[in-house]
Amino acid sequence: MGKTALITGITGQDGAYLSDYLIKKGYTVHGIKRRSSLFNTDRIDHLYQDPHVENRNMILHYGDMTDSMNITRIIGDVKPDEIYNLAAMSHVKVSFDTPEYTANADGIGTLRILEAVRLLNLTNKSRIYQASTSELYGLVQEVPQKETTPFYPRSPYAVAKLYAYWITVNYREAYGIHASNGILFNHESPLRGETFVTRKVTRAVARIVLGLQDKVYMGNLSSKRDWGHAKDYVKAMYLILQQDQPDDYVISTGVTTTIRDFIKMAFVEGKDEEEVGFIASIDENKFANIVGNKQLELLKKRVGDVVVGVDPAYFRPTEVELLIGDNTKARTKLNWTPEYDLKALCEDMVISDLALMKKEEYLKDGGYRILNYFE
Ligand code: NAP
Ligand code: F7E
């Protein structure tokens, strides 16, 4: 008999990759999905099995992280060997608009899982993975960030995740639950939600290239992220729960890149690498208050064909400027190594989005020459 896993947030990016990975390992995967007025299972449709199929290895339950009774009932019914708590309102900018809901789903939601395991006497059976995040480091206190770096959250999302991190540690220490935090740095993929920066860029590249869109408006181009591929990162989640002792791990690539450089990388993907150059249209009135005069002057000189715009609407009230993770502990204790570097990740996403736009022929005919000059 294979193991049984319960995944909250199974319809999300990580939920989809993790389900695929665990099913291939012989697990029976149960997932919690929210009811929505439109289908929200696109990412896992290839794994879905009709309820009438015998011996299913993928079973979905309706549920919500804000509903304690529902969470407790599902965990009691499934009695999972492993719980991967991936469900969250995961968009940092949106958390400023919905802070209370974010605290409820992302913070208290984690407590609901832990408390259900305790009340159902599953403390010796069910291991728990908590989806913690590099956003905990926020205004970073150390470079690079590692497991011992102090946290300084900078958004309602990160503050909610801070509670989730510590309540996980507390239940481990108080009740001996095998509960661990994966402190995952940004990870992306062709399945990434369309409003996160990498996917927004790769979709825009595809659409601009194909003449479906004139330009894309971006926010802060100067922040830096340590981006990995979600396929690599779900393997780390699995490894964390296979350890004899629960613990907390940074999962990262150790390389950091600006948003600006990611955009450049995406626009030249696999094509004519001649730089045609330009930057956004700039609303000086809005912009002057946000960047320094020197940068504004530089930007003004560079206005050309406009395909990328900067719109301060995408700026955040408080920003996380620099993330770069030290993954030494994961490499040594989990024997985890990421396979994708940023270039390979970017290629995967651009190619996938181009295919999604169903116009591959255009590229074969000589492609395009677009963008690529910021600084
Ligand atoms: P995602 O694509 O946004 O998926 C989030 C999942 O949570 C979706 O299945 C979503 O359902 C579900 N969900 C949201 N609110 C819920 C609620 N109230 N009740 C039940 N389900 C709910 O996120 P992801 O990128 O896969 O990330 C997975 C987890 O890792 C999240 O907790 C995220 O905060 C954390 N994390 C992500 C990263 C990253 O770079 N991707 C890094 C560190 C940590 P719908 O499909 O119905 O919206
Ligand atoms: O932003 C800047 C933005 O939304 C990255 C979540 O998975 O990873 C993710 O959070 C950076 C920020 O991811 C746009 O200001 C510029 O500096 O892709 P993002 P995030 O905020 O880092 C962490 C680890 C999580 O845990 C979260 O769940 O890009 N940026 N222009 C932009 N960001 C967006 N979304 N859109 C823009 O137009």
pLDDT in tens, 171-183: 999 999 999 999 9
15 alpha carbon – ligand 1 mean position (Å) = 8
d(CA 201, CA 269) in angstroms, rounded, equals 12
Other CB atoms within a 10 A radius of the CB of residue 238 amount to 19
196 in contact with ligand 2, CB cutoff 6 A? yes
CA 219 to ligand 2: nearest atom: 31
Q: What are phi and psi of 126, to 5 degrees?
A: -95, 115
- DSSP symbols for 243-289: SSS--EEEE--S--EEHHHHHHHHHTTTS------BB----HHHHHT
Please tell me the distance between residue 92's alpha carbon and the centre of ligand 2 in angstroms: 7
Secondary structure percentages of the chain, helix, strand, coil, to 5 = 40, 15, 45
Q: Is the CB of 314 under 6 A from ligand 2?
A: yes
310 pocket-lining for ligand 2 (C-beta < 6 Å): no
**Beta strand 257-258 pairing with 224-225:** antiparallel
Taking the centre of ligand 2 as the mean of its atom positions, its distance from the CA of residue 173, in whole angstroms, is 33
Q: What is the pLDDT of residue 342?
A: 96
The pick from 14, 161, 227 for probing ligand 1's pocket by mutation, whose C-beta has the most ligand atoms within 8 angstroms, reads 14
Rounded to the nearest angstrom, the distance between the alpha carbon of 151 and the centre of ligand 2 is 18
Q: Which residues are catalytic?
A: 133, 135, 157
Give dist(CA 72, CA 92) in Å, integer. Answer: 28
The CB of 312 under 6 Å from ligand 2? The reply is: no
d(CA 250, CA 236): 10
Neighbouring C-beta atoms of residue 351, cutoff 10 Å: 17
**What local confidence, expressed as pLDDT, does residue 294 receive?**
55
Closest ligand to the CA of 34: 1
Q: Which residue in 84, 85, 86, 26 sits closest to 58, CA to CA?
A: 26
Q: Which residue numbers in the chain have pLDDT < 70?
A: 208-211, 267-307, 357-375
Q: Which residues are paired to 28 by β-bridges? A: 4
What backbone torsions phi and psi does residue 173 show, to the nearest 5 degrees?
-75, -35
Taking the CA of 14 as reference, the closest ligand is 1
Q: Whose CA is nearest to atom 21 of ligand 2?
A: 92
Look-up of token digits 């590229």: 363
Distance 364 CA to ligand 2 centre (A): 32
Measured in Å, residue 12 CA sits from the centre of ligand 1 at: 5
Three-state DSSP at 348 gives: helix
- State phi, psi for 326 to the nearest 5 degrees: -100, 110
Pocket perturbation via mutation, ligand 1, pick of 33, 38, 65, 86 by most ligand atoms within 8 A of CB? 86
d(CA 126, CA 113): 11
pLDDT of residue 5: 98
> Which residue has its alpha carbon closest to ligand 1 atom 19?
64
Nearest alpha carbon, ligand 1 atom 38: 186
Determine which residue's CA is closest to atom 28 belonging to ligand 1: 86
Residue 308 confidence (pLDDT):
75
pTM of the model: 0.90
Q: Is 96 in the pocket of ligand 2 (CB under 6 A)?
A: no
Q: Which of 37, 90, 98, 223 to mutate to test the pocket of ligand 1 (most atoms within 8 A of CB)?
A: 90
